[in-house]
Amino acid sequence: MKPLFRTSRSLTRPEESGEFSASPRTLSGDAWRQFRKHKLAMGSMGVLLLVVLLVLAGPLIWHTDPEYIDIIAAYSGMTAEHPFGTDNLGRDTLARTIWGGRVSLAIGLTAMIIAMSVGTLVGCVAGYFRRLDGLLMRITDMFLSLPTLPLLLVITLLFREPLRKAFGPEVGIFVLIVVVIGMLGWMPTARLVRGEVLTIKEREFVSAALSIGSDDRVILRSHILPNVLSPVIVAASFSMAGAIITESALSFLGLGFPPDFPTWGRLLFDGKDYLTLTPALVFWPGLMISLTVLCINFIGDGLRDALDPQLRK
């Protein structure tokens, strides 16, 4: 694993001076050593990698077209031909689960990136500039009092059509869902980062940077940001898990992607009416959601322990 950031940089590199034989210890290296001790997190990492591999490389191995309709094979159970069964039109659930996974994971990832970027930005600015603090925290509080799920439902419903016209049915809804989930999920991160920034900006190294005349942007970017990264990384994992669940919930309520566009939540929504005929239709996509979210949460737990220097032995 490549080091994410270094804590200290010696003026002469150790390998050049020949003083040390081992490679330098880095903060991320330490964290990785600690993370490996967390068995559940390591196991989850393995499972998550498998899921990602299945979703990305799946179509290379499993050639069945997810949109191919074979009405005669409808509601087939789990057979060799259709390991995950088929839906009411005879479409192969395995192929649909693979394609659905791509969408679900992409949404989780993008929404997380949006939430983290906005949250970190707002948190940094609020923590660092005292004048903006009050205003930004009021806004954060207000966003926190918004009812997330109802608002999400309302917004996706109302702005579906214009975005569909602007970007096409799939991309439009992808953009909409990702932006809305991201914009309704940045507040905890902003509060967290603000708290961290408030303590960090009183540290000596920030005073030192100020005294040599660094401007605010430099201080924020190269002194404060690296130090708030650990809690943000932990928050990012939980945020991604949350985003995947939220998207699935939206699709499950029938308000996500269009019907012919599989996502894990949408597959559950489509399959729930045929529960008595073929439970496989619901079981596999549901299992994939649960497994992915569970793994990400365990990894988050592991990261939290690994990135907290006080817990490190």
Partner 1 sequence: MGQYLIRRLLVSIPTLLVISLVVFTILELSPADPVGNLPLTIPPAVREQIRDAMGVNDPFLVKFAKWLRQFMINEPLNIIEETTGLNFAPRLSLAPDDLIARGEEGFDSLAFELVEEVESAAHSVLVDGQARELFRSERQFFLLDDNSAPLFLNETANGTVGRELSNDNVDVPEGELLPLHESRLRYLSWQTRSPIIDLVIERTPQTLWVVGLSYLAAIFVAVPIGVIQAYRQYSNFDRFSTVFATIGFSVPTFFIGLLFIYIFSVQLGWFPSIYDTTHVVTDLDSFLFQLRQSIMPVTVLALFYMALLSRHTRSSMLENLKLDYVRTARSKGIAERRVVGHHALRNSLIPVVTLIALGIPGVFQGAIITEQIFRVNGLGQLLIIAIQGGDLPTVQTLTFIFAVLNVFFNIVADVLYAVLDPRIRYT
Q: Which is nearer to partner 1, 219 or 244 (CB)?
A: 244
The C-alpha atoms of residue 271 and residue 83 are separated, in whole angstroms, by 16
The alpha carbon dihedral of 43, 47, 48, 53 has a sign of positive
Q: Which of 17, 79, 222, 290 binds partner 1 (CB under 8 A)?
A: 290
Interface characters, 291-310, with partner 1 (x: CB under 8 A): --xx--xx--x---------
Q: Helices in the chain by DSSP H: which ranges?
A: 14-17, 27-37, 39-61, 93-128, 130-145, 148-158, 160-167, 169-183, 187-200, 204-211, 216-218, 225-252, 264-271, 280-307
The C-alpha atoms of residue 266 and residue 247 are separated, in whole angstroms, by 9
- Is 230 in contact with 290 (CB distance < 8 Å)? no
The Cα-based distances of 266 to 272, 285, 294 in angstroms read 10, 9, 19
The C-alpha atoms of residue 280 and residue 106 are separated, in whole angstroms, by 24
Query: Per CB under 8 A, does 193 bind partner 1?
Result: no
Query: Per CB under 8 A, does 71 bind partner 1?
Result: no
Q: Which is nearer to partner 1, 78 or 225 (CB)?
A: 78
Query: Per CB under 8 A, does 51 bind partner 1?
Result: no
Query: Per CB under 8 A, does 50 bind partner 1?
Result: no
Interface characters, 11-40, with partner 1 (x: CB under 8 A): -----------------------------x
Query: Per CB under 8 A, does 169 bind partner 1?
Result: no
Instruction: Collapse the DSSP code of 196 into the 3-class scheme (helix H, G, I; strand E, B; otherwise coil) and give the result.
Output: helix
In the region spanning residues 223 to 242, those forming contacts with partner 1, defined by CB under 8 A, are: 241
Query: Per CB under 8 A, does 189 bind partner 1?
Result: no
Taking CB under 8 A as the binding criterion, the range among 52-60, 127-135, 197-205, 287-295 that sits at the site for partner 1 is 287-295
Q: Which of 216, 275, 311, 312 binds partner 1 (CB under 8 A)?
A: 275
- Is 181 in contact with 243 (CB distance < 8 Å)? yes
Query: Per CB under 8 A, does 272 bind partner 1?
Result: yes
- Is 310 in contact with 258 (CB distance < 8 Å)? no
The burial class, CB within 10 Å (0-12 / 13-18 / 19+), for 165 is exposed
Query: Per CB under 8 A, does 255 bind partner 1?
Result: yes
Query: Per CB under 8 A, does 142 bind partner 1?
Result: yes
Give the nearest distance from C-beta 33 to partner 1 in angstroms: 22
The tokens for 83 are 């390991």
Residues that bind partner 1 (CB under 8 A): 40, 141-142, 144-151, 153-155, 157-159, 161-162, 241, 245, 248-249, 252-255, 265, 268, 272, 275-276, 279, 282-283, 286, 289-290, 293-294, 297-298, 301
